[in-house]
Amino acid sequence: MFNAKDIEIAANALANQLAAGIKLREAVARMAKLQPRFAEFWQEAAERLSRGGRLSQQLEQSWPEDLVAAVRAGEEADLLPLVFKRIAETMTIRAEVKKIYAKLVSPVMAFLMGVGVFLFFMVAVIPKLAKNLDSDTGSVVNRMANFLSWAFTEHGLLIGGVLAAVVAGAVLWSRQPENRDTLTGMALQVPVLGQGLALLSFGIWAKQVALLATAGIPIKQQLLLSLKTLPSALQDGVLLMAQEVQKRGIADSADPERQAEGDPRTRWPFYISTAFIIAHETGRLDEEMQRCSPLLIEDGMRKIAQFIAVADLVAKTLAAVMIGLPLVSYFMQMASSLTKSFGG
């Protein structure tokens, strides 16, 4: 199965060869050398083409439906070089966006590291220190440290097993597409982060619509084929537009000022609505979406970066507080021990 990077490499190679005038069958046959892991796939594709078949029929086995639809339309319109170029651009952007999403984990990791250090001090350091210094102050920190030390000493394997099961369960749960979509929907409700994610999502969606428009796919099919590019929480407006676009037209069905109160299209980013409205006049939706996509992505990345910076600061502050509590207790016990030693 092709992953996003494999598709990007293949699309770039095919676009470059076709733009240089190389016949499609020859270009496809050459792909076996570029991607040895998929040599059999590309050889079968070349044989299919030699028998009068289509490349899109072969790609149906391993490429996403929306990309295959674009290739199929590109075959019909004799626009394959441009279509493959747009596919490669789309996959490059998706890879960059994936890196941004990965950075959202950094505040969580900073907080968890703080929790780990806190537990180490509370379980392994503070109780032994209090015993050696004969200075059990009876403070909340000391009582908590004694309890945690007892718990990990007596039930360490059980606690470790439960924690491992929770972590493994959380990882497995987050890998399910529907659960990731649920997490994204929750994140969309968070101030700043939600705005950034919405802009980023619509930027990727605009790129996909541009690809499908370049291939000559009708507007209703563009909307339906590109729907999965958006999180489910942002899909309602696209579905409504797909239902109405043939009757109302592109501009009227996308203009937020012409929608009923509460319609999700009234919350669409400015650039998206404007792109549809301008495309109604120019007839070039591909160009308008191609133009607005990087603006939305850049703005979305900026807002997400702002959120990460603040979240990282908060997480590190909480971690520092957790680490500081046992350290304060340590110095208090040292001071108490010294005071007793010198007859204070």
For 184-216, the pLDDT digits (tens) are: 888 889 899 999 999 999 999 999 999 899 888
Q: Are residues 128 and 270 in the same domain?
A: yes
Q: pTM of the prediction?
A: 0.77
Q: Are residues 45 and 169 in the same domain?
A: no
339 has a pLDDT exceeding 60: yes
292: left (phi over 0), alpha (psi -120 to 50) or beta: alpha
Q: Are residues 123 and 21 in the same domain?
A: no
259 occurs within a structural domain: yes
Q: Are residues 205 and 60 in the same domain?
A: no
Q: Are residues 180 and 280 in the same domain?
A: yes
**What CATH number corresponds to the domain at position 76?**
1.20.81
Q: Are residues 19 and 159 in the same domain?
A: no
Last residue of a domain, one of 92, 118, 139: 92
pLDDT of residue 340: 62
68 has a pLDDT exceeding 80: yes
Structural domain of residue 64, as residue ranges? 4-92
Q: Are residues 325 and 206 in the same domain?
A: yes
337 occurs within a structural domain: yes
137 occurs within a structural domain: yes
Q: Are residues 131 and 74 in the same domain?
A: no
Last residue of a domain, one of 44, 65, 92: 92
pLDDT in tens, 151-189: 888 888 888 888 888 878 877 877 776 777 788 888 889
Q: Are residues 233 and 156 in the same domain?
A: yes
Between these two residues, 65 and 325, which has the higher pLDDT value? Answer: 65
